[in-house]
Amino acid sequence: MANTPQFGMTGITAVTSPPGLALPTLQVPGAGLSWMDRPPFGMTGITAVTSPPGLALPTLQVPGAALSWMEKPPAAIGCPPGLEYLSQLDQVLVHQQVDMQEVLTNLETANKYHVKNILGQQIFFAVEELHRGYIQISGKKRGFVMHIMDNMNQEVMKVTREYKWCVGCCCACCAGCCNGEKCASKASVEAPPGCTIGYVVQRPSLCGDHLAILDENHETLLKIRGPGCKCRSIYSDIEFNVLSSDETEHIGKITKQWAGNVQEVYTKADNYGIQFQMNLEVKSKAILIGAVILLDFMFFEEQQINHQTSGGARNF
């Protein structure tokens, strides 16, 4: 017979069998459950959930939990404010953010980039100034203003390219008539905004993949040499070598990294790596970040369409 419930108890209490009769025990509803502690006030989102010992279950991560920020180093003499991060780095990763609206509608949207160190810690975030109709009409040839913010949401750099109707048509035949300047892609880099520290300029070449890094006085600091015009498989990295101004020393390289079939074919979000000498001037490192953004517009902005129509190859 069941025991009489105590005052204040509700529901069904445990029922035990009479002596000598083995009956299953009926548990009180909720009696076998344990409860997750309520997170402290101010915590939001989903916390990481791990599997019990011995049970292999995937881990559910907090949205955005994988994004960490690099600690800002102290200010350095002669370094533009906000670029102190670059003084401690010899490699930088630039990841273009996937825009689901663009994936679903195939309509061009403003570009956004995460700039990180090799540990995956974010140092900058870049966002294109939005002019939606202008973006749809001009596509990859559009002029752009890219605002680059630090982790405190302070704008520390600005990369700007003016619109040219013939931009990108900078082959070797242009060199004789206008030195390639008229139709060459050119981006200015400001750090902080309002103070120009240099330029990235496309130079005449057979395939248009030669660029120069200039200082604020238009003196050549570095040169960038692409892979040439031969057809390159999309299933591999594509490298642009960074050389000294006289092309006698290898300073580093810019690598357009293969991101996998889905991202490469169905989106135009690209991943880049920049390698340079640790003692390279901070301003030159910053201009190289501007060079990556310009290269993305020049060669990879409409890559989704190119992949679908070229049978899996990329021409330079």
pLDDT band of 3, cuts 50, 70, 90: low
Task: Say what the pTM is.
Answer: 0.69
C-alpha pair distances (Å), 48 with each of 35, 44, 60, 106, 122: 16, 12, 5, 34, 21
d(CA 79, CA 17): 81
Contact 237, 259 (CB under 8 A): no
User: Which among 131, 34, 35, 115 is positioned nearest to 70, based on CA atoms?
Assistant: 115
Contact 81, 154 (CB under 8 A): no
| pLDDT tens readout for residues 179-231 | 456 778 899 999 999 999 999 999 888 777 899 999 999 999 999 999 876 44
Give the chain's mean pLDDT. 74
Range of lowest pLDDT (46-55, 129-138, 141-150, 260-269): 46-55
pLDDT over 70 for what percent of the chain? 57
User: Which among 297, 87, 82 is positioned nearest to 200, based on CA atoms?
Assistant: 297
Q: What is the pLDDT of residue 227?
A: 87
Q: What is the pLDDT of residue 127?
A: 94
d(CA 276, CA 278): 6
Contact 147, 127 (CB under 8 A): yes
185-216 per-residue burial string, b: 16 or more CB within 10 A, e: under 16: bbbbbbbeeeeebbbbbbbbbebbbbbbbbbe
pLDDT, average across residues 155-162:
95
Return all residues near 5 (Cβ < 8 A) that are at least 6 apart.
Answer: 13
Contact 240, 228 (CB under 8 A): no
pLDDT, average across residues 143-167:
88
Contact 87, 72 (CB under 8 A): no
